[in-house]
Amino acid sequence: MSKDVHLMDIAQQSFIHDIHELKQVSERMDWTSIAKAAELISNAEHVICIGVGKSAIMAKRCASTLTSIGKKSMFLHPIEALHGDIGIISSSDIVLLFSNSGNTEEVVSIIPYLKTRSTALIGIIGNVKSEIGTSCDIVIDASIEKESCPLNTVPSSSLLVTTAVTNALIAAITVNSRITKDIFATFHPAGQLGRNLLLTVESVMIAGEDALPFVESTMMLRDVIIIMSKKGLGCAIVSENGKNILGFITDGDVRRCLQNNDDLSAMKAHHIMSHSPVTIQPQATLGEALSLMEDREHKIGVVPVCDGQGNCIGIIRLHDIAGHIR
């Protein structure tokens, strides 16, 4: 067996073992404990996440994710806590303890002081019968049979299981706290999801009487093309009053007309316009606009923006969205 094949087998075995450990924890999980923990955390004033070493990484990740859904959270190192930082914890807070062994000395040493503050303790523990496990009000079992590391020493499956258990807890907290996409977006205004959900079509659309290419249905095609070229938006809005939209013409409509007709002299706007064009409302999000334009059999690059009365008040193009989304 070549060295490459051997290494491929080792990597695959590690992957398969991780899947096995996830299945095992899923089958034995006391989901009631997850639900109770989620309810306590949802109602807490603050969530304090504590761990040491690799468990500290898990604790920091949990605190960061909870903060991202609006639950005030922070990571606290147990040694720093014993040297003054424990003062940040009050009885209205919840403390999440992370430990694979369940006997991490630094974490064990802080538990008596946490209890004096009447703080509820929730443990995500790899050994529920350990000192930390038996000291918590709620214990969530994150134990494994062995690590996927060939030496059974490097934290691997234990980290994956802890991550999955934490994800399950946070999912329950998200629902219990009634977090919606719109609420989540307010915590991420500079992130892509925030831009997708917070920025509206109205904020980036092209608007204004001088900018919009309005044409009448009886206008000759030649004149329509001139106006489309002058406005440079790749479209024309067919309307009799410069407001209410009757139809829509795109560059593609013009090209197809040129390909299919030898004599264009009698062609008018109403001959080539779409009579029931796809439109979007100004309050729609950019994410919704992008889906409207791309999630279809034939993608469209420009869409008229219409108010509730069917008046065209703007144009939005993929080009206009590109700088704000994806």
pLDDT value, residue 75: 97
Helix axes 221-231, 251-260, angle to 10 degrees: 150
pLDDT value, residue 212: 94
User: Cα–chain-centroid distance for residue 85?
Assistant: 33
The one-character DSSP state at 280 is B
Q: CA 236, CA 302: separation in Å to the nearest integer?
A: 10
pLDDT value, residue 179: 74
Equal CATH topology for 3-179 and 201-322: no
Contacts with 157 (C-beta within 8 Å, 6 or more apart), sequence order? 17, 18, 21, 144, 146, 147, 148, 149
* Nearest in space to 76 (alpha carbons), one of 86, 90, 64, 67: 86
pLDDT value, residue 182: 63
Return the exposure string of 264-289: e unless at least 16 CB atoms fall within 10 Å of the residue's CB, then b. eeebbbbebbeeebeebebebbbbbb
pLDDT value, residue 194: 53
pLDDT value, residue 286: 84
pLDDT value, residue 62: 96
Evaluate whether 269 touches 218 at the Cβ level (below 8 Å): yes
Q: What separation in angstroms does the CA of 82 have from each of 37, 60, 77, 89, 114?
A: 25, 18, 9, 12, 10
Evaluate whether 277 touches 315 at the Cβ level (below 8 Å): no
pLDDT value, residue 183: 63
**pLDDT tens for the chain, residues 1 to 326:** 577 778 999 999 999 999 999 999 999 999 999 999 999 999 999 999 999 999 999 999 999 999 988 889 999 999 999 888 998 999 999 999 999 999 999 999 999 999 998 899 999 999 999 999 999 999 999 999 999 999 999 999 999 999 999 999 999 999 988 877 666 665 555 555 555 556 789 988 999 888 999 999 999 999 999 999 999 999 999 998 888 899 999 999 999 998 888 888 889 999 999 998 999 999 998 888 888 988 888 889 999 999 988 899 999 998 888 766 55
* Nearest in space to 319 (alpha carbons), one of 291, 295, 290: 290
pTM for this model (two decimals): 0.64
Summarised one tens digit per residue, pLDDT across range 97-142 is 999 999 999 999 999 999 998 899 999 999 999 999 999 999 999 9
* Nearest in space to 13 (alpha carbons), one of 145, 147, 143, 144: 147
Q: CA 89, CA 96: separation in Å to the nearest integer?
A: 12
Q: Helix, strand, or coil here: 29? A: coil
pLDDT value, residue 193: 53
Contacts with 230 (C-beta within 8 Å, 6 or more apart), sequence order? 213
Evaluate whether 146 touches 157 at the Cβ level (below 8 Å): yes
Indicate the burial class of 312 (C-beta count within 10 angstroms; 0-12, 13-18, 19 or more): buried
Q: Which residue has the tokens 């980036």?
A: 204
pLDDT value, residue 245: 93
CATH 3.90.79.10 is held by the domain 201-322: no
Contacts with 317 (C-beta within 8 Å, 6 or more apart), sequence order? 206, 233, 234, 301, 302, 303
The H or E element that residue 57 is part of is helix 54-68
In the chain, domain spans = 3-179, 201-322
Architecture of the domain spanning 3-179:
3-Layer(aba) Sandwich (3.40)
pLDDT value, residue 187: 57
